[in-house]
Amino acid sequence: MAQITAALVKELRDKTSAGMMDCKKALNETGGDLEAAVDWLRTKGIAKADKKAGRVAAEGLVGYALNGTKGALVEVNSETDFVARNEGFQAAVEEVTNLALTCDSTEELAAAKTSTGETVTEFFTTLVAKIGENMGLRRMDSVSVGSGTVTGYMHNAVAGNMGKIGVLVGLESTADTAKLDALGKKIAMHIAATNPLALNVEDLDQSVVAKEREMLKAEALESGKPEAIVDKMVDGRMTKFFKESVLMTQIFVMDGERSIEQVIADEAKALGTDVKLTGYVRMALGDGIEKEEEDFAAEVAKTAAGG
């Protein structure tokens, strides 16, 4: 049996473009035989999958799962919307989303074991080889409450609890869960439509606040007014910014009159008990991913070349 050195692992990686750990495993499985290791990787579909991993995957699905007091949101990306409609891909997203209920971070979920015995990362590597395009877990987030309910909403649903924009809302209360769910669904729909920056003013990213103030001040200075007047103008505009950007002070899109804070207070009064919105998550497919722009002729040429 040949000694499995770092140089041998690197040589196999250069030949196949597979990951370092996959190369090491292949060499262990084949007794250090380089050519046999290449065949082993190809048989497993790993070399093929790794080569496709460089492609931009900005499509796919967002999925959510609930267990009453906890909800999880997951984004799994693919290269094309066509694959997002593939039943095998949807089944994979559903399994991983349900698995996310047992995890607290994307890293933990990536290492969690699926029904195949593979980790989530390995699970998608296998699926890449089967379906033929790059895909994988991008991120997860969750919301939980001590008592009450976590409600989910999917905008532009493709199948079940999977689609383009997912929202979770956590409502802490001892009220009837069915009535809380109804309220949570309305708030979740509002969040999907308005995309608030934070739950409360104190939760806002201070870098975002500073940038907004800087921009407003630059605009106000162009009016030629004195500095003291400009500062008052900016303060007034920042108050408007906070009101429109923060969930609790946003005007409820379904009636155009009450703030979300007032909507919750009114519902609490009707239910005869306290209701507190403890947190929310909004996840939109492909947020922050730069998509490659490619003309149709180039796409056809790449396909014809087997790319």
CB 32 within 8 A of CB 107: no
Mean pLDDT of 121-142: 87
Q: What is the pLDDT of residues 179-202, one digit of tens each?
A: 999 999 999 999 999 999 999 999
Phi, psi of 294 (to 5 degrees): -140, 130
Q: Is the pLDDT of residue 45 over 70?
A: no
Percent of residues, the chain, with pLDDT higher than 70: 85
CB 113 within 8 A of CB 34: no
What whole-number distance in Å separates Cα of residue 292 and Cα of residue 286?
12
Mean pLDDT of 136-165: 94
DSSP 73-112: EEEEEES-HHHHT-HHHHHHHHHHHHHHTT-SSHHHHHHS
Name the residue with tokens 């975002």.
Answer: 208
Mean pLDDT of 71-94: 90
What whole-number distance in Å separates Cα of residue 281 and Cα of residue 283?
6
* 258, two tokens: 């009450």
* 249, two tokens: 């002070």
Q: What is the mean pLDDT of the chain?
A: 86
Q: Is the pLDDT of residue 283 over 90?
A: yes
Distance of alpha carbon 57 from its chain centroid, rounded?
A: 13
Pick the CATH number of 6-52 from 1.10.8.10, 3.90.180.10, 3.40.50.720, 3.40.50.2300: 1.10.8.10
The residue ranges of every structural domain in the chain are 6-52, 59-174+280-284, 201-277
Per-residue model confidence (pLDDT) at position 17: 59
Per-residue model confidence (pLDDT) at position 295: 47
Q: What is the pLDDT of residues 248-261, one digit of tens each?
A: 999 999 999 999 99
What whole-number distance in Å separates Cα of residue 12 and Cα of residue 19?
10
What whole-number distance in Å separates Cα of residue 284 and Cα of residue 210?
25
Per-residue model confidence (pLDDT) at position 106: 95
What whole-number distance in Å separates Cα of residue 136 and Cα of residue 276?
35
Kindly report the pTM of this predicted structure.
0.74
CB 260 within 8 A of CB 252: yes
CATH code at 59-174+280-284: 3.30.479.20
Give the chain's end-to-end CA distance (angstroms, integer).
Answer: 36
Phi, psi of 117 (to 5 degrees): 90, -5
